[in-house]
Amino acid sequence: MNREYPCEVIQDLLPGYIDGILSKTGADVVKEHLKECDGCRRCYEEMAEEIHLASDTRTNFEEQTAIDGFRKLRRITRTLKLTVGIVTGLMLLCFLSVLARVYVIGRPMSTAPLQITSCTYSEETDDLTLHGTVNVSGERVKRVVYRESDTEQYAMNVLVYTTETVPFLSFLPAGQEQREFEITIPDAKGYSVYLACPEYDRREVYDWKADHYEKLAKMEEEIYTHIPGLNEEQDALDYVRGIKTINGEEGICYAVTTMLGDDAYYWRFNDQLAMYGDFAVLDLDIWISIEEPYHILIYDYRSGEYTEDFSIVADRKQSAEPEKLEWMEWE
């Protein structure tokens, strides 16, 4: 056995020998020693196997790290592509929705450019037909709708939806831009009708009460004539908008405001009731049928019932407590 180099020295050189980093002389010495020493050869074999396993593990770890990094990058790329696609789709959808609203679907037109050219109420069918125009160049009427007001009773809103004229069709004559519109509202009896956009911009175009002023004046005269205790100079009848049907008869209601004291009085301004001095609103309504022969009933808020006992009006006037309109007092 070659004893020129102890086993301890050879074993210290084995890692370099296995990795192939020893000089040719050093490698030859270790190689000759391994041929003669079984113990160092077994040590060499074990060490070589451990280094090989460690190398494989490191290689596998590096490969797995590279694969994980690639997968993570692919996920990020896929997520980025999906995000970009969604954002692009939403932007495109918003753009198309704006185009559709402007050129196809339409949007409510403000009331200022709208003009009603005729308003016809049919006494036979109670239908109201409106004709109008949109006084804006480049706008065309898409559709006209009506609906009950969300904020008050017996009020109807008419909304005119318009679209812009397609740019490459702007050369068309004005008549072909469809600026005129027409709509028929069924059963408009008792209603006030507004052009609206939608609730915050409103302009009244029809009032059933104003359209039937003479008829209502006659009905009010009938009330003053047939109900004892009512005085036209002292007691104001305030029309309650809408039609109420009782026992198959259509009628309207009036609230009653009575002036208290010799210096109190009332007047009407633009169809609004204005008062000076002490007054009281009676807790009752007067209902009168629209058609002759007139039928009059009293609705008592205390009992919640209609009655033909007209004496209730005089009784409520005697017990009325005054409410003073200080903001209406004049010096």
pTM over 0.85: no
Q: For residues 139 and 164, give the distance between their C-alpha atoms in angstroms, rounded to a whole number.
A: 5
Query: How does DSSP classify residue 197?
Result: S
Question: 51 exposed, middle or buried (CB, 10 Å; 0-12, 13-18, 19+)?
Answer: middle
Model pLDDT for residues 102-157, shown as the tens digit of each residue: 556 778 999 999 999 999 999 999 999 999 999 988 788 889 999 999 888 999 99
Q: What is the mean pLDDT of residues 13-40?
A: 80
Give the contacts of 237 (CB within 8 A, at least 6 positions apart).
Answer: 220, 223, 224, 254, 255, 256, 286
The stretch 220-233 carries a mean pLDDT of 94
